[in-house]
Amino acid sequence: MMSTPSIPPFLVWLGVLAAVVLAIKATNTISVYLRPSKLRRYAHTSRDGRPPWVLVTGASDGIGKALSNELADSGFNVVLHGRNRTKLLNVQSELSQAHPARSFRLLVADATQCQPEVFKDIADQLSDLHLTGLVNNVGGGGSGTLFATLDHYTAENTIEIVNMNALFPTLLIGSLLPTLVQNGPALLMSTGSITDAGVPLVSAYSASKGYLKTLAESLTREVKIAGWDIEVLHLRVGVVTGVAGNKSKPSMFMPSAPVFAKAALARVGCGSPVIIPYWGHTLQVAPLDFMPVWLVDMIIEYSLRDIGSVFTNTPATNDEAAKTK
Ligand SMILES: NC(=O)c1ccc[n+]([C@@H]2O[C@H](COP(=O)([O-])OP(=O)(O)OC[C@H]3O[C@@H](n4cnc5c(N)ncnc54)[C@H](OP(=O)(O)O)[C@@H]3O)[C@@H](O)[C@H]2O)c1
């Protein structure tokens, strides 16, 4: 009779260790979605009785507009930021009708313009408010080429992308941090992207979102060291529909902006500074954590093969890139 070969004990222990690590990771991931939201902790009145306000950047459309609606529902008055006053006025009127007990104020500023005086001016404009929240949501791929190798982007387009997604939020946080510290407990949220891990053909966008994520991690530690009562929460976002550039039908992996906004605010107080707030996006991304880098690269290349092929073959000068707009 043939004897079955026995498994070496170290392999058994390695297997057990892997199973335990996997179980802990899975439990941590799931628990983020089960904890009750602590959003209302930040919707508090000041000692002298002034109501709470939150500033939402990029609030005239898509996710920012949906977040503003949810925040108003949770007791905040909202400063709606955008670049187009008419569009903002329409959103203000819509939200005022939906939330008659709340106030809405407009803040018009082009997020691609990052001169120091812009931020001093914003802080001055908001100085009379009891600001207890800042949601850095403005961002996107800018007005030029999308899905191309970096040499196809004009310098202006790249500056626009990096300013809007990285520099504008950084300088805005810097200028409003003293107010948030003074008014604490306060919430500091940012809308990032799951492309922050180094996605090709959107490299300036992907890197800017990676920067924003690192900024949130640094700020989380800074807040602890300084002893401030501020929660930093960075959202890693997958595809969301019902936004300016995507009006497709929502699906399990592509929530509408309102569904996404609800999920995002439900995660406030979850205990983790960087999260994928919508479970469908987590299902899409989580398997990548367990794959070797070469397989992840293959999947990314396969997903982008059609989109990218137009722009990957002939490097262009900035003038030529401009023509692709
Ligand atoms: N939707 C997605 O699939 C997705 C996925 C990952 C991450 N995100 C991130 O989610 C955030 C919101 O995106 P969204 O999809 O909701 O986009 P959206 O519908 O295009 O809304 C973007 C908002 O930002 C404003 N904005 C754009 N450029 C601006 C500028 N230069 N100055 C001031 N405001 C400006 C827009 O104003 P106007 O109304 O005037 O254009 C609008 O209010 C972004 O940070 C984006 O990177 C979105």
DSSP character string of 82-110:
ES-HHHHHHHHHHHHHH-TTS-EEEEE--
Distance 57 CA to ligand 1 centre (A): 9
- CATH code for the domain of 157: 3.40.50.720
Q: What is the mean pLDDT of the chain?
A: 91
Amino acid letter, 81: H
**Total structural domains in the chain?**
1
Please give the full DSSP string across 145-164, using - where no structure is assigned. --SS-GGGS-HHHHHHHHII
- Is the CB of residue 64 below 6 angstroms from any atom belonging to ligand 1? yes
Ligand 1 pocket mutation, candidates 191, 247, 276, 285, criterion most atoms within 8 A of CB: 191
At residue 308, the pLDDT reads 56
pLDDT digits (tens, 9 = 90+) for 267-291: 999 989 999 999 999 998 888 877 8
The finding on whether 235 has its CB within 6 A of some atom of ligand 1 is no
Range of the structural domain that residue 193 is part of: 41-323
User: Is 97 domain-assigned?
Assistant: yes
- The residue to mutate among 60, 235, 260, having the most atoms of ligand 1 within 8 angstroms of its beta carbon, is 60
Find the range with the poorest average confidence among 31-40, 71-80, 242-251, 308-317.
308-317
pLDDT of 154 higher than 50: yes
C-alpha angle 68-267-87 in degrees, rounded to nearest 5: 15
The answer, yes or no, to whether residue 324 has pLDDT greater than 50, is no
The ligand 1 atom nearest the CA atom of 240 = 3
> Does the beta carbon of 111 lie inside 6 Å of ligand 1?
yes
Domain contains 236: yes
- Report which protein residue has its CA nearest ligand 1's atom 29: 111
Domain assignment of residue 140, yes or no: yes
CA of 80 to the centre of ligand 1 (A): 13
pLDDT grade for 321, boundaries at 50, 70 and 90? very low
18 within domain boundaries: no
pLDDT in tens, 72-106: 999 999 999 999 999 999 999 999 999 999 999 99
Q: CA–CA separation, 6 vs 283, rounded Å?
A: 36
Hey, which residues does 230 pair with through a beta bridge?
Answer: 186
pLDDT at 161 (0 to 100):
97
Q: Is residue 32 part of a domain?
A: no
Query: Does residue 236 carry a pLDDT above 70?
Result: yes
Tell which one of 56, 63, 199 to mutate to probe ligand 1, the residue whose CB is within 8 A of the most ligand atoms: 63
Asked, for residue 22, whether it belongs to a domain, the answer is: no
Tokens of 218: 């640094």
Q: Distance from CA of residue 315 to its chain's centroid? A: 31
* Confidence at 315, pLDDT banded by 50, 70, 90: very low
- pLDDT cut 70: percent of the chain above it: 92
Contact indicator for 108, 83 with CB cutoff of 8 Å: yes
Name the residue of 88, 119, 193, 260 whose CB sits within 8 Å of the most ligand 1 atoms, as the mutation to test its pocket. Answer: 193
Q: Is 277 in the pocket of ligand 1 (CB under 6 A)?
A: no
Nearest CA owner, ligand 1 atom 1:
240
Q: What is the maximum span of the chain, computed from C-alpha positions, in angstroms?
A: 87
What pLDDT is stored for residue 320 in this prediction?
A: 42
> Between residues 177 and 10, which one has the greater pLDDT?
177
Cβ-proximal residues to 151 (8 Å cutoff; 6+ apart), any chain: 315, 316, 321
Domain membership of residue 19 (yes or no) is: no
Indicate whether 125 belongs to any domain. yes
CA of 2 to the centre of ligand 1 (A): 67
| Spacing, Cα 109 to ligand 1 middle (Å) | 14
**Band of the pLDDT at 309, cuts 50, 70, 90?**
low
